[in-house]
Amino acid sequence: MHENVIFCYSGTGNCLNLAKNIAKNIGGADIVMMRSKLKVSDVTEAKKVGFVFPCYGGGAPEDVLKYVRMITVNPDAYTFGVCQPAVYKGTGLAELNRIIPLKYWHVVTHHCSCIWLFPHNVMVPFLNKEKAQSRSESMAAQIAADIRNEVVSGKPFRNPLNVLENKIWPAIANIKIKAFSVSDKCISCGQCVKLCPRQNIRMDNGRPKFGTNCAQCLGCLQYCPKNAISIGRITDRREHYHNSEVKAEDLMEDIIHVDG
């Protein structure tokens, strides 16, 4: 493994793109994707270990904390966490910090991937896709400079309102999990099956069939080449979104090596 390792969770590419840009600017890194099977968990040889993930329902995606509990980091390593929400960071970084103490953390907002809740341009500050992307890239360079200099931040704040929001989040997400449907536009390409980080989708008579073990990353819906996947009618009316720099295939990798 590289001496810099970044664990990344990403459904629609914003976080993978951010992780890649941080990796490039810190002199390279191995990015380990937090997908169905974590390919690497012992990173005691790594000098810098980071975590890049989105905010879901006021906290980190459930799988991020599940995987973080399995990871062994050298106590002398420089650790960092970067959250990429649409509006607010929630408690994800604070929860991560309770499992693996972070030396440094940062937040970079980008367009919203939660299509059943908001249109993608709901983000703070309000920026179009191009400006949001170039801001994410320049913030990645600043964050990387901090990481190279081993800047130390204070503890991330654990906001009780976000803790509460994140507690009720699974109940809301479960309603949405039951609302997936596929239209006749489906061309049976099977991309959604390969993309799903929890292997929750299988092909049944040439059509994707959704199980109940959904992480709500929405990669299947947002990357569908024919926009054939819906979660209720509102998602058909909204423009689909995924990060412009990240292809569906990029999200299927387990480990991505980035040169500096």
Ligand X SMILES: Cc1cc2nc3c(=O)[nH]c(=O)nc-3n(C[C@H](O)[C@H](O)[C@H](O)COP(=O)(O)O)c2cc1C
Q: Which residues bind ligand X (CB under 6 A)?
A: 10-15, 54-58, 84-88, 90, 110-114, 216-218, 243
CA–CA gap between residue 10 and residue 35 (Å, rounded) = 9
- The three-class DSSP label of residue 7 is strand
8-state DSSP, 232: S
Nearer residue to ligand X within complex by CB, 112 or 140: 112
Q: Least distance (Å) from ligand X to the CB of residue 206?
A: 27
Q: Least distance (Å) from ligand X to the CB of residue 107?
A: 9
- Report which of 206, 185, 202, 184 is spatially closest to residue 194, judged by C-alpha positions: 202
Nearer residue to ligand X within complex by CB, 164 or 187: 164
Nearer residue to ligand X within complex by CB, 77 or 217: 217
Q: What are phi and psi of 94, to 5 degrees?
A: -65, -40
Nearer residue to ligand X within complex by CB, 77 or 224: 224
Nearer residue to ligand X within complex by CB, 57 or 81: 57
CA–CA gap between residue 12 and residue 58 (Å, rounded) = 18
Nearer residue to ligand X within complex by CB, 54 or 81: 54
Q: What are phi and psi of 48, to 5 degrees?
A: -125, 130
Q: Least distance (Å) from ligand X to the CB of residue 241?
A: 8
Integer CA distances (angstroms), 257 to 4, 13, 112, 158, in order:
10, 16, 27, 33
Q: Least distance (Å) from ligand X to the CB of residue 104?
A: 20
- The three-class DSSP label of residue 230 is strand
Given 3-state DSSP classes, what are the helix, strand and coil percentages for the chain, each rounded to the nearest 5?
Answer: 30, 20, 50
Q: Least distance (Å) from ligand X to the CB of residue 83?
A: 8
CA–CA gap between residue 202 and residue 13 (Å, rounded) = 22
Q: Which two tokens stand for residue 236?
A: 């058909």
Q: Least distance (Å) from ligand X to the CB of residue 167?
A: 13
